[in-house]
């Protein structure tokens, strides 16, 4: 069999996995992995606070797909070929033991992303994948057979197949070379970010965490739930990050000026809540409301919400009338905040947008527009909520792209 030459462009999670997959599926192929910077696997190193959230322990593929605001349905065929369980098995069989935390996130037992990066680098070395750093590819041209890559500082090179794993780009210009090959590009915008609230007094409660909050973006259908963190600039935590991912396009269209409604106790039955307040009041008539709260929320938040509805903390429970009970229930379940701007979540910059999903055959990750061109990772219009899902899409996409269309 003729030895084929394959280029993988992009030295991130998807690029590494694609290069490894090519060699595992086609051992005689020559594979060169190009990275434009001097560093590889940068996101892998910083993800999960430097621990690397490898994947999410979710074996039900339908549930897994629900974590992707864009591309969930299309990813099904990928996950059937390479699932979260396959990811876990892949790393553990190569000497990286993994653990699943309470919330389903999977990390290396070492709690150090170096375990993952070392494993991937060892694999490309073992399989004789050639890694070329500092290589800027300025253009890609289709030849009669295969592709010609044009480099900034070295001669052109020809390849039989090319896998694009260049990641997301914050600007449309970053996709121009792929658009020139006939692909439709969905305008890239940020997808995973926290909410800025410079004019809201709640930021004085920075560091406060509510474990089960519900967040609704007003004037939209977007509603999420989960832990919420108050920061010195606004709000963060899984509930907020989920809302940012599912609301990415809506929030971009509104230039990140919008309102949210927070349900601090994740309960919507107001009649039930009213009964609970009345019952508590009858059992504790002479106790001060500021010192004795009904619901499992932090004390600082309870005091803050009481002040918002003008209930003095020194008031006794039997001094609070039905009207104030109703106001208290409203602030607990429909507390409104104005958001003005966003902040990137740690170093985990995620974009939605990229290659239109309709231009990709998800059984092979091959382009529908041209032959012998494949995609993996965030270069396509797929993104996920936080929790290891973006990496899972990278591992699965890289694995399938590396087959180069073979079954």
Contact 234, 195 (CB under 8 A): yes
Asked if the structure places residue 363 within a domain, the reply is: yes
pLDDT surpassing 60 at residue 1? no
**Residue 167 domain flag:** yes
Q: Tokens in use for 267?
A: 């309960």
Residue with tokens 């892949």: 90
Would you state the structure tokens that stand for residue 120, as one six-digit string?
Answer: 């991937």
Q: What is the rounded average pLDDT of the residues 95-114?
A: 97
User: Domains in the chain: how many in total?
Assistant: 2
Question: Of 295, 322, 344, which residue constitutes the final position of a domain?
Answer: 344
The answer to whether 70 and 381 have CB atoms below 8 angstroms apart is yes
**Same domain flag for 116 and 173:** yes
The mean per-residue pLDDT over the stretch 34-62 comes to 95
Q: Are residues 263 and 149 part of one domain?
A: no
157-159 sheet: strands from edge to edge? 137-142, 147-151, 157-159
Residue appearing with tokens 């106001």: 327
Q: What pLDDT shows up at residue 344?
A: 83
Residues 17 and 113 in one domain: yes
In angstroms, the Cα distances linking 59 to 79, 83, 250 are 10, 7, 30
Query: Domain range spanning residue 333?
Result: 193-344
11 and 168 in contact (C-beta within 8 Å)?
no
Reply yes or no on whether the pLDDT at 398 is more than 50.
yes
Q: Which percentage of the chain shows pLDDT scores above 70? A: 98
Q: How far is CA 293 from CA 145, 300, 366, 380, in A?
A: 72, 11, 58, 48
For residue 407, is it within any domain?
A: no
Distance of CA 368 to the CA centre of its chain: 26
205-261 pLDDT tens trace: 999 999 999 999 999 999 999 999 999 999 999 999 999 999 999 999 999 999 999
Whether residues 157 and 235 share a domain: the answer is: no
Higher-confidence position of 12 and 349: 12
Which residue's entry shows tokens 């069999």?
1
Q: What's the first-to-final CA gap in the chain, in angstroms?
A: 18
Q: Report how far residue 149's alpha carbon sits from residue 351's, in angstroms, rounded to the nearest whole number.
A: 26
Q: Looking at the predicted structure, is the pLDDT value of residue 334 above 70?
A: yes
48 found inside a domain: yes
> Domain containing 145 — which CATH number?
3.50.50.60
Tokens of 79: 């996950």
Residue 83 DSSP SS3: coil
Is 97 a residue whose pLDDT tops 60? yes
Q: Would residue 130 count as lying in a domain?
A: yes
Residue with tokens 């864009």: 70
* Residue that is last in its domain, among 344, 369, 384: 344
Q: For residue 129, what pLDDT band results from cuts at 50, 70 and 90?
A: very high
pLDDT tier, 169 (very low <50, low <70, confident <90, very high otherwise): confident
Write down the pLDDT at residue 89: 98
Same domain, 241 and 275: yes
**Cα–Cα distance for residue pair 335/327, rounded to 1 Å:** 11
Same domain, 276 and 393: no
Spatial distance between the Cα atoms of 189 and 107, rounded to a whole number of angstroms: 28
Q: Are strands 360-361 and 366-367 parallel, antiparallel or unpaired?
A: antiparallel
Q: Judge if 226 and 183 occupy the same domain.
A: no
**Same domain, yes or no, for 244 and 171?**
no
Where a domain ends, among 302, 320, 344?
344
- pLDDT of the residue at 293: 94
**Tokens standing for residue 43:** 């996101």
Has residue 137 been placed in a domain? yes
Both 162 and 292 in a single domain? no
| Same-domain pairing of 322 and 362 | no
Q: Domain for residue 176, yes or no? A: yes
242 in a domain, yes or no? Answer: yes
C-alpha–C-alpha distance, residues 246 and 389, integer Å: 14
pLDDT at 99 over 50: yes
pLDDT of 347 above 60: no
Domain match, 121 and 233 both? no
Residues 15, 162: contact at Cβ < 8 Å?
no
The whole-number pLDDT of residue 107 equals: 98
The backbone region for 111, taken as left when phi is positive above 0, alpha when psi lies in -120 to 50, beta otherwise, is left
Residues 94, 36 share a domain: yes
Phi, psi of 283 (to 5 degrees): -80, -25
Asked whether the predicted pLDDT for residue 176 surpasses 50, the reply is: yes
CA angle 129, 40, 400 (to 5 degrees): 55
- Residue 336 burial (CB count, 10 A): 13
């Amino acid at each position: 069999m003729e030895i084929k030459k394959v280029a993988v462009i992009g030295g991130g999670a998807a690029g590494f996995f694609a290069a490894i997959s090519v060699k595992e599926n086609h051992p005689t192929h020559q594979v060169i992995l190009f990275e434009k910077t001097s560093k590889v696997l940068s996101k892998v190193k910083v993800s999960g606070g430097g621990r690397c959230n490898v994947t999410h322990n979710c074996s039900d593929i339908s549930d897994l797909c629900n974590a992707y605001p864009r591309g969930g349905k299309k990813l099904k065929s990928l996950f059937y070929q390479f699932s979260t369980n396959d990811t876990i098995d892949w790393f553990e069989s190569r000497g990286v033991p993994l653990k699943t935390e309470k919330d389903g996130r999977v990390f290396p037992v070492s709690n150090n992303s170096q375990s993952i990066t070392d494993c991937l680098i060892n694999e490309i070395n073992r399989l004789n994948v050639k890694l070329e750093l500092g290589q800027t590819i300025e253009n890609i041209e289709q030849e009669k057979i295969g592709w010609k890559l044009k480099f900034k500082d070295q001669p052109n090179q020809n390849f039989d197949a090319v896998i694009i794993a260049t990641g997301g780009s914050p600007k449309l210009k970053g996709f121009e070379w792929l658009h020139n090959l006939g692909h439709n590009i969905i305008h890239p915008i940020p997808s995973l970010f926290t909410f800025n609230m410079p004019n809201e007094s709640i930021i004085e409660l920075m560091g406060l965490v509510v474990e089960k909050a519900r967040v609704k973006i007003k004037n939209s259908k977007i509603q999420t739930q989960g832990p919420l963190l108050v920061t010195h600039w606004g709000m963060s935590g899984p509930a907020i990050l989920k809302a940012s991912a599912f609301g990415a396009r809506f929030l971009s269209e509104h230039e990140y000026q919008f309102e949210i409604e927070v349900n601090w106790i994740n309960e919507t039955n107001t009649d039930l809540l009213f009964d609970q307040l009345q019952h508590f009041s009858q059992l504790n008539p002479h106790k001060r409301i500021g010192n004795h709260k009904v619901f499992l929320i932090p004390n600082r938040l309870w005091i803050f919400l009481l002040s918002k509805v003008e209930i003095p903390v020194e008031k006794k429970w039997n001094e609070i009338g039905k009207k104030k009970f109703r106001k208290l229930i409203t602030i607990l379940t429909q507390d409104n905040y104005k958001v003005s701007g966003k902040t990137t979540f740690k170093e985990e910059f995620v974009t939605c947008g990229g290659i239109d999903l309709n231009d990709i055959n998800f059984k092979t990750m091959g382009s529908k527009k041209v032959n012998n061109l494949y995609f993996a990772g965030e270069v396509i219009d797929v993104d996920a909520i936080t929790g290891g899902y973006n990496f899972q899409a990278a591992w699965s996409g890289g694995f399938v792209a590396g087959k180069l269309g073979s079954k």
